[in-house]
Amino acid sequence: MDYKKAGVDIEAGYKSVELIKAFVKETDRPEVLGGLGGFAGAFSMEKFKSMEKPTLVSGTDGCGTKVKLAFLMDKHDTIGIDAVAMCVNDIVCGGGEPLFFLDYIACGKNYPEKIAEIVKGVAEGCKQAGCALIGGETAEHPGLMPEDEYDLAGFAVGIVDEKDIITGKDLKAGDVLIGLASTGVHSNGFSLVRNVFEMTKESLDTYYDELGAKLGDVLITPTRIYVKALKAAENAGVKLKACSHITGGGFYENVPRMLIDGTHANIKKDSYPVPAIFTLMKNKANLDEDMMYNTFNMGLGMVIAVDKDDVDKAIKAFESAGDKAYVVGEITEGEKGVTLC
């Protein structure tokens, strides 16, 4: 009896590390100290001394049951983008610049090539966010997880000068809400998605005219990363007063989180195009519309409040970063909450 016979292949772990080194290297920032393989990742804070009160902001999350889709499609090179997006999009909601990311992969069996594909996606997400992948862990769990399955989670750290933290404290009636388009379902609500559609290879390979693609290809599209969009607005001199990342809980849970007492968000559902995947799900399973907006992003991955005088400048900045932006509503006085009309 040895460790390998017990289900843990140390040599496979070594091979995984060798395969991912090139992907990790592509995410390097000047502040990264040392290389992959140490017990801890090191990141210099020297360049941030010029901030008045440098403040660390952090986020941690996973991809939820979207990983089940990756198993069924045997496609593992984009799920890592989702893991990064779920963390860094939260960080930028607070005004932070993502600095570095660490991933954690738990698997039933370490297949080095599959692990490398997963980390390739993580590295791509880090490049899109401008942060460094400075470490991670791949843990084999024989007997606890099926051999061909895994779970993926991550942790990101960012920085912001304390005076620039986005808190919503300056929100007032008349401020305008801008929505940034999502790329689809992103990484939330997949427990419902998997009940709407039969999760088989045949079902996922089905082409839908209204989608213009196969179902699986639409569902596995990675979460949009909004770091560059918000940075572009900041560089353009736009004050981002409040920001909400539309994730689990949809509009009804997430939009109120950006508000302060005495302010109310009003969002017009017809102010932007809802992606066809949501309409397809609603019609196929006869889903209640309020429940849809309480579960999914419905086509908006981020909602941002700006002063009405900054709207044109903000939209131009967002679109310069490659994001589609829409004026979707406004702030009024009232009880903290959101009305969809």
pLDDT at 12 over 80: no
Residue type, 188: N
Residue 236 lies in a domain: yes
Read off the CATH number of the domain in which 180 is found: 3.90.650.10
Domain that includes residue 78, residue range: 10-164
Q: 232 with 314, same domain?
A: yes
pLDDT tier, 2 (very low <50, low <70, confident <90, very high otherwise) = low
Of 143, 164, 185, the residue at which a domain comes to its end is 164
Q: 30 with 132, same domain?
A: yes
Residue 1 lies in a domain: no
pLDDT at 4 over 70: no
Dump pLDDT digits (tens) for 26-74: 899 999 998 777 788 899 999 999 999 999 999 999 999 999 999 999 9
Q: 201 with 136, same domain?
A: no
Alpha helices in the chain (DSSP H): 10-25, 66-73, 79-93, 112-129, 190-196, 201-204, 215-219, 227-235, 250-254, 276-285, 289-293, 311-320
Of 164, 192, 222, the residue at which a domain comes to its end is 164
Residue among 252, 271, 251, 267 at smallest CA distance from 324: 271
Task: Work out the angle at residue 205's Cα, subtended by the Cα atoms of residues 204 and 207, and round it to the nearest 5 degrees.
Answer: 105
For the residues 257-273, what does the mean pLDDT come to? 97
Q: 222 with 331, same domain?
A: yes
| Cα separation, 301 vs 314, whole angstroms | 16
Residue among 137, 119, 23, 127 at smallest CA distance from 80: 119
pLDDT at 17: 77
Q: 22 with 70, same domain?
A: yes
Token reading at 70: 């990756």
Q: 222 with 147, same domain?
A: no
pLDDT at 7: 62
Total domain count, the chain? 2
Q: Does 20 or 230 have the greater pLDDT score?
A: 230
Q: 22 with 128, same domain?
A: yes
| Cα separation, 326 vs 273, whole angstroms | 9
pLDDT at 23: 87
pLDDT at 18: 82
**If you ran DSSP here, which 8-state letter would residue 255 be given?**
G
Dump pLDDT digits (tens) for 151-201: 999 999 999 999 999 999 999 999 999 999 999 999 999 999 999 999 999
CA torsion through residues 211, 212, 215, 220, sign: negative
Question: Over 28-69, what HEC string results?
Answer: CCCCEECCCCCCCCEECCHHHHHCCCEEEEEEEEECCCHHHH
Residue among 299, 293, 310, 309 at smallest CA distance from 255: 293
Read off the CATH number of the domain in which 159 is found: 3.30.1330.10
Dump pLDDT digits (tens) for 90-139: 999 999 999 999 999 999 999 999 999 999 999 999 999 999 999 999 99
Q: 157 with 183, same domain?
A: no
Q: 153 with 181, same domain?
A: no
- Percent of the chain beyond pLDDT 90? 89
Instruction: Please name every residue paired with 306 in a beta bridge, in sequence order, or none if there are none.
Output: 176
- pTM (predicted TM-score): 0.95
pLDDT at 16 over 80: no
Give residue for tokens 């289900």. 7
